[in-house]
Chains A and B, each alone.
Chain A
Amino acid sequence: MSQRLAPESVPLPRTGRWRSAGLALPLLLFIGAAFLAPLASMLTRSVYDPRVADALPQTLERLGEWDGSGLPGEAVYEAAAREILSARGERTLGQVASSVNRIRSGLRSVLTRSGRKLRGAPDGPKRDFLIGLDPAWGEAETWHAIRSAGERVTFRHYLNALDLDRRPGGQVVRQPEERRIYLPLLWRTLVVSLGITGLCLLLGYPIAYLMANSPPRRANWLLLLVLVPFWTSLLVRTTSWIVLLQTQGVVNDLGVALGLLAEDGRIAMIYNMTGTFVAMTHVLLPFMVLPLYSVMRGIPPVHMSAAASLGASPLRAWRRVYWPQTLPGVGAGSLLVFILAIGYYITPALVGGRTGQLISNMIAYHMQTSLNWGLAAALGGVLLVCVTALYLLYDRLVGIERMRLG
């Protein structure tokens, strides 16, 4: 009976199945080691930080016996003085101070200055000596901060990334209004990405339609026009937008030359959200056009003419007959553009100015400038959850294996 089946449906022998798995194995191992392991190490960092615990072991152990009200006993001060000094010697005091400072701002300089001055400290009780150095040592909040910084496993960074805070008592509260940064930023990222996706659809749909309904030769030429930006370096395209949109740029010059703009009425179109929006739409548009085009090419034009011959107006025919058939392309393109948009970094960093920054730029800020790596990792974790959810949705609706490249 196998004679009658189409040859490709003949199941390969079991060894063939496993051989094909064996062929994929080297790449799986490579991606595991070179890509997934780094992601895992980032996620680990978002919940695990042993640096303070390693630098101040005895202080933390003795702090464990403190009831949290009033001040801890002399034993804690003695251990702290000793371990701060040795951390300074081992050059880890800076890291400890940074971690503690993130929980209670202002403590970095307290710790580093104390480290500097403990070198010549007299023998004797350390409690009065430290409080004499800086009154912060006489505040319970300082010790609470050291205690939480000393937790090896912590969800503090995730709380922080969601604009929440944990009180010393353990209850979780929202950050005060002026310190809520990350959720509004995440929200802004989603809204901007949605806007860009919508704009890409609005611009991409007509040209995909035009291409799909052109004779093959012309369609190929038009396709090349779509692919030129796709292949051109992202940095080149970003540079172009700077050249075009800056205050003394080509667009403003043109506006002034045509008398549309006054010389002092030039519009700021870059280094703000407009810049991010325009440049990102340009970058992502091909990712919308290509899936749309490939779906539209499969729709026979007779459908539209049939609807028209039945007396439907072109708009009505389009809405009832054509649009529903293109929905798979719309879905695939929109999801792809949206996924790429929410993780975008380079374009907003270069043309976004202060107001055009997205969540990725905040991650980069905490990676490179504030060096709050735990928080950067937690923000990355939040973003990764969003992207993974969308990716799974894409797989569900479109199928990853059906992804094609221009």
Chain B
Amino acid sequence: MSFRGNARALRIAALALLAAAAAGPAPAEEALTVASWGGSYARACAKGYHAPFTAETGIEVRLDDYNGGLAQVRAQVETGNVYWDVIDLEIADAIRGCDEGLLEPVDDLELPAAPDGTPAEEDFYPDTQTECGVGTLFYSTIYAYHPESFSGEKPATLADFFDLEKFPGRRGMRRVPYVNLEFALIADGVPLDQVYATLDTPEGVDRAFRKLDTLKSQIVWWEAGAQPPQMLADREVVMSTAYNGRIFNAQILENQPFVIVWDGQVLDIGQLGIVAGSPNLEAARRFVTFATRTESMLGVARHIAYGPARRSGTPLVSTHQETGVDMRPHMPTTPEHLSRSLQNDWEWWSDNADEMNERFSAWLAR
């Protein structure tokens, strides 16, 4: 082996690589990093309004995945390494992030009017806007099951999810207290309009955790929205809580026979916020404004079963882009799905999230 020749070649390669490493990938003209929920939802947003945004403004949109919560935003802001510009988040987190100075205020944005000219303030459904977040869509947390897991009677109510005798087998649940506490209370017989009043008392919280205790040994915890359909398909669990849109996409795109149980669904609003100290503040504000156009919301609704946050969008919901399936019966806001639903009380959660998270992780560790 001629080592000297190799050594020279190595040295040249070394220099070239170090130069490449120091330079990093060439930065694009202008780019935004958007943190979203990954999987089919992120793909729906990318097709629904990221691509049109890039086409209109020339600003590239890069997607990063996360699983909710403010931890990563807080870590970025506190260490001064802000690399997310826009974040797709739960409304309770938008309020808490605002209070903690983690998000930029966006209540001064001039939001676009509806296609028929109705001003934005009138067009948005009530309670969809907060100081640091603009609402874009309705989604819901439901539970779904794989029909082949049960030979006889199928689960139909939220109480069935907690009924291990009638429906034995492991269940998937999201690894957060959010929504699980509500599900536990509803399954335990608390009337829908009493859920948050009950949670507001220490006994009510105890009751929710006691109900979760009965399932604890059979729960497989998920973190990413893409996991429940996968766990159901792999038969790792017999049923799982999930976001309705993810189950819908598995049903129509992958022909999975999953069945959604709408009983006791918890309805939520998805918001967009801007991370405090975003290096691309102006572009981020343009992006958020663009996302609140009725057409943007409808774009998302052509790829995943999440309903627009504007009145003008609701009647315009049409079909699934790739399969032509009518989207309206799959939306969480469809009247028949709303009959037994709970609107998430984001105010309660923004005040109690810390305490509940702490209690939940102590409960998990035991």
Nearest opposing residue in chain B for A112, CB measure: B99
Docked CA distance A353–B219 (Å): 10
Mask for B57-71, Cβ within 8 A of A = 1, else 0? 000000000000101
Check A370–B235 contact: CB distance below 8 A. Answer: no
Mask for B205-223, Cβ within 8 A of A = 1, else 0? 0000000000000011100
Contact among A88, A105, A268 with B101 in the assembled complex (CB-CB below 8 Å)? A88
Which residues of chain A are within 8 angstroms of B77 by Cβ–Cβ distance? 91, 94
Contact among A91, A97, A113, A179 with B276 in the assembled complex (CB-CB below 8 Å)? A91
Q: 22 A-B contacts, Cβ less than 8 Å apart? A: A91-B101, A92-B101, A94-B74, A94-B77, A95-B78, A101-B354, A105-B355, A108-B354, A112-B96, A112-B99, A113-B99, A178-B366, A181-B365, A247-B234, A248-B235, A353-B221, A354-B219, A354-B221, A354-B364, A368-B72, A370-B71, A371-B75
Asked whether A271 is an interface residue with its Cβ less than 8 Å from the other chain, the reply is: yes
Task: Pick the most buried of A92, A93, A357, A369: most chain B CB atoms within 10 A of its CB.
Answer: A369
Which residues of chain B are within 8 angstroms of A369 by Cβ–Cβ distance? 69, 71
Interface size class of chain A, counting residues whose CB lies under 8 Å from the partner chain: 35 or more
Which residues of chain A are within 8 angstroms of B74 by Cβ–Cβ distance? 94, 98, 371
B interface SS class? helix
Check B100–A94 contact: CB distance below 8 A. Answer: yes
Mask for A15-45, Cβ within 8 A of B = 1, else 0? 0000000000000000000000000000000
Write the residues of chain B forming the contact surface with A, with a CB cutoff of 8 angstroms: 69, 71-72, 74-75, 77-78, 96, 99-102, 170, 219-221, 234-236, 276, 350-352, 354-355, 357-358, 361-362, 364-366
Docked CA distance A54–B355 (Å): 26
Nearest opposing residue in chain B for A111, CB measure: B99
Known contacts A247-B236, A268-B170, A368-B71; A106/B100 CB under 8 A: no
Check B221–A93 contact: CB distance below 8 A. Answer: no
Check B351–A246 contact: CB distance below 8 A. Answer: no
Nearest opposing residue in chain B for A88, CB measure: B101
Give residues 346-384 of A contacting B (CB, 8 Å): 353-354, 357, 362, 365, 368-371
Docked CA distance A61–B102 (Å): 28
B309 vs chain A, min Cβ distance (A) = 24
Check B99–A116 contact: CB distance below 8 A. Answer: yes
Docked CA distance A108–B358 (Å): 12
Asked whether A185 is an interface residue with its Cβ less than 8 Å from the other chain, the reply is: yes
Contact among A112, A248, A268, A368 with B100 in the assembled complex (CB-CB below 8 Å)? A112
Query: What would 9 more interface pairs be, CB under 8 Å, given A112-B100, A354-B221?
Result: A91-B77, A94-B74, A94-B100, A101-B354, A109-B99, A185-B365, A353-B221, A368-B71, A371-B75
Docked CA distance A370–B352 (Å): 15
A270 vs chain B, min Cβ distance (A) = 9
Asked whether A329 is an interface residue with its Cβ less than 8 Å from the other chain, the reply is: no
Docked CA distance A149–B328 (Å): 52
Give residues 83-122 of A contacting B (CB, 8 Å): 88, 90-95, 97-98, 101, 105-106, 108-109, 112-113, 115-116
